[in-house]
Chain A
Amino acid sequence: EVQLVESGGGLVQPGGSLRLSCAASGFTFSSYWMSWVRQAPGKGLEWVANIKQDGSEKYYVDSVKGRFTISRDNAKNSLYLQMNSLRAEDTAVYYCARRIQLRFLEWFLDYWGQGTLVTVSS
């Protein structure tokens, strides 16, 4: 059974940092692109970042470029999101998800974790 379990969320002050983790099990982690998606309270979904199987390609939504870094450790079956210079507008539940590539540029997310809440506030 595919399982994705996020951790690392919490309350952080504006300008602070936080590192989210996602532990994967039930599938060959190193064979899949992975993604982070967030959802602000009461709002819709927003794609945040993608990372290729070997970590050689990474993509970010404009609003987090230069502040967030996606990474992975295939030996530990783990996905990470390092978030620096956090802003109030980064407050959201952050989900990790497994990405399925349909064709070049086109993908969907077939398994999602339960999410971890990040609150940026003074």
Chain B
Amino acid sequence: QSVLTQPPSVSGAPGQRVTISCTGSSSNIGAGYDVHWYQQLPGTAPKLLIYGNSNRPSGVPDRFSGSKSGTSASLAITGLQAEDEADYYCQSYDSSLSGNWVFGGGTKLTVL
């Protein structure tokens, strides 16, 4: 059970917009710590998607965007494409844990 909670699954049709939430608490996201997002395509290693809440690394399409508010963060994907079908993970720092660096449980995105 991660301290960062993500919905197990979300889905959307091609061209639609979907959002994936990452809900934390006052010891992580709510304390102002940044959230980062990773995409893991089936059978591959994770890839950095968003860092520092809303920044895209070079090469990541602007269809992907991140935001943070209060104790939660969100990843939005617009113009959904079949190749976006993957697992998505948020990551942040938590001051209440001895092993402080945590990932969310992951969200499986299905493109209908």
Interface residues of A (CB under 8 A from B): 37, 44-47, 50, 59-63, 95, 100, 102, 105-115
Contact = CB atoms under 8 A, between A and B. Distances in A.
Interface stretch (B14-22, B30-38, B71-79): B30-38
Contacts of A106: 33-34, 93
Contacts of B48: 108-111
A46 B103 CA distance: 7
Classify chain B: how many residues form its interface, as a range.
20 to 34
Contacts of B52: 102, 108
Given A108-B36, A112-B45, A114-B45, A47 B103 contact: yes
Contacts of A45: 38, 46, 89, 91, 103, 106
B105 interface: yes
A110 B51 contact: yes
B100 interface: yes
A95 B40 CA distance: 13
B106 A102 contact: no
A50 B99 CA distance: 11
A60 B104 CA distance: 18
Contacts of B100: 105
A118 B102 CA distance: 21
Contact of A102 (B45, B51, B105): B51
B61 interface: no
Contacts of B91: 45, 108-109
Nearest to B6: A44
Given A44-B89, A44-B104, A102-B52, A112 B98 contact: no
A48 B98 CA distance: 12
The CB with the most chain A CB atoms within 10 A, among B36, B52, B99, is that of B99
A60 B51 contact: no
Given A62-B99, A102-B51, A108-B36, A44 B105 contact: yes
Contacts of A59: 99
Nearest to B57: A110
A116 B3 CA distance: 27
Contacts of B99: 47, 59-63
Nearest to B48: A110
A115 B43 CA distance: 10
